[in-house]
Structure formats: C-alpha cells, structure tokens
Amino acid sequence: MKELKNVLITGAAGGFGGVIIEALRKEGYTVTGAMRDSNGRNKAVAETLRSQGVTIVEIDVTRDESVALGVQQAAAHMGSIDILINNAGLGAGGIQEGFTADDWKKVFDVNVFGVQRMTRAVLPYMKQRQRGLLILISSLSARLSVPFQGPYSPSKWAAEALAESYRLEVSHLGIETCIIEPGGFPTAFIGSLLQPSDQERALDYGAINQLPATLLASLKGVFEANPEQRPELVAEALVNLLKLPHGKRPVRTEVDRMFMGDLVAPLNEQLEKANEKVYEAFQMSHLMHVKN
C-alpha cells in the first residue's frame, strides 16, 4: 500500500498551523507550509519554520495564480502531495446586519473558494498516484450556528458541504476526505476577526450591539477556566486520524474539551446515518467507501 507521507498545509503562519506542523514533523511526515506574506509580516514565522526543516511556499488561497504556483513548488520539492490540509481561515465577529456583501465575499473567498482552489490544484497529483487524503479544518460552528459570527459560521457550513461532495466524488480514485471540527481555542485567530464594515446598521440594536465585544472579551476568562482546551489537541486529533487505516477514517472528528463537542457529536452520528440512507436511495452508497 502506498504510504501517505508528504503533507501540504495552508494557513501555516497562524491559528493551528504551527502546532499541526510540529506534530507532523515529530511523526516523520515531510511538511510544506503555505502562507501569505512569507517575506513580509509573516517573515519571522516563516524563518522559524525553515530553521526546523519545514519548506515554506507562498500561497494566497484567494488568488488562482498564487495557488497554482505554490502547489507546483510544493509538489516539486516533496515529489508528491499525499495529504492536503486546508487550514487557512478567516473569522468574523459582529452584528450580522452590519456585514456587507463585500465582507461576506472576503470570508467566503478564504474559507470556501480557497478550499476549492487548493483542492483542485492538488487533486491531479493525488489522482496520478491513486491515493491521497483531503483534510478540512472546519469548526463546530459548522454544525451549530452561533450568533454574532457574521459570515464565518455560514462559510464553514458551506465548506463542509464542499468536503462532503469531494468525499463521494473522489473516493473511487483512492482519495479519502476528512473533516476536523475544533471548538473555540486560544489562538491568534480570535484576535484577527473581520468586523462589520457598516457599523451604523447596528446602532439601533441597543444592548445587543454590545454583545459581540462582550463575548469576545469574556473568552480569555473562559480559556483560563478551561486550561485543557489547548490548540495542541487539534494537532493530536489530526495525527491520530492519520494513523488509522486508509479508507477507515471517520468523516468528522470533533475536537473540544468544553461543551460544544459533546453536543455536536450526536448530530454528526445522525447525519452519517441519514447520508447512508440517502446515498443508498440514489444507488451511490458504494461511493462512501474509499478504493484501496
């Protein structure tokens, strides 16, 4: 059986990127990290990763030409791309009415269209080997829509629907698709949320208008009260997923030590049962199984 050892991960400069890369390297994987501005605002992070033996490629997931070139460079360096981790993401926080269509486009361009760009660019390499693994770093917010997240939660719902489509359509090629759903974690992601462009729209919301900022400020206390909610949990869950036999990995993996994970897990179980019945009705149940 062909080993899956060469990994390309987007969003290497922030969020879960660093801890995932570290965990993969310790397990012997060859990792290429993709990020924007590797010679600019992310230069220090890029240099640190390079000093650890990680190859860095410049990829802006919102630009077709950047994705094409970066993926080509990653494949040339590693010889193949066995595993794609779509980790790049853009969050948002505020009153929904204040987010303009352009705000929505910014979030979806990273969280949904970026996933599509990366997946399309990588699939030819996986199809050539008839083996591969697509991993989407999603969110528990893709299963339970949380208020005051603007376009973020809808974008994650859309990204998971996209991953589900690929799951069925590429399984016969020996390519597996998995989704990891983290809860809230203390990473730099929280400090870089997109704010609504049209702040005036929320002025007549009264006390509700203050809730997004209040909730965001309270997260520090929440994380301090839950020290076990470490970003490393996501990396550990991913590594454990990789250790499972090809074609036998769960579609969704919840990662959370607070409370949302326990609420979402039964939903995911019921969804998978519903999927089985739907695919069977359409005579597509065989596509739920990855060709080995």
| 214-237 pLDDT tens trace | 988 888 888 888 898 999 999 999
Burial 213-243 (b: 16+ CB within 10 A, else e): eeeeeeeeeebeebeebebebbbebbeebbe
What is the C-alpha separation between 198 and 151, in angstroms, rounded? 14
What is the C-alpha separation between 15 and 90, in angstroms, rounded? 10
With contact defined as beta carbons under 8 Å apart, do 62 and 185 qualify? no
Structure tokens at 196: 């609504």
What is the C-alpha separation between 67 and 242, in angstroms, rounded? 24
Whether residue 152 lies in the annotated active site: yes
Return the H-helix or E-strand segment holding 175: strand 175-182
With contact defined as beta carbons under 8 Å apart, do 103 and 197 qualify? yes
With contact defined as beta carbons under 8 Å apart, do 126 and 173 qualify? yes
Q: Is the pTM of this model over 0.75?
A: yes
Edge to edge, the sheet with strand 132-137 lists 55-58, 30-35, 6-9, 83-86, 132-137, 175-182, 252-255
What is the C-alpha separation between 139 and 152, in angstroms, rounded? 10
What residues in the chain have per-residue pLDDT under 50?
Answer: none
Measured CA to CA in angstroms, residue 196 lies from 70, 145, 155, 200, 221 at distances of: 31, 18, 16, 10, 25
Q: What is the pLDDT of residue 1?
A: 53
Question: Which entry of 29, 125, 152, 166 is annotated as an active-site residue?
Answer: 152
Structure tokens at 232: 């490393």
Which domains does the chain carry? 6-288 (3.40.50.720)
Q: What is the pLDDT of residue 114?
A: 99
| 158-173 pLDDT tens trace | 999 999 999 999 999 9
Beta bridge partners of 7: 31, 83
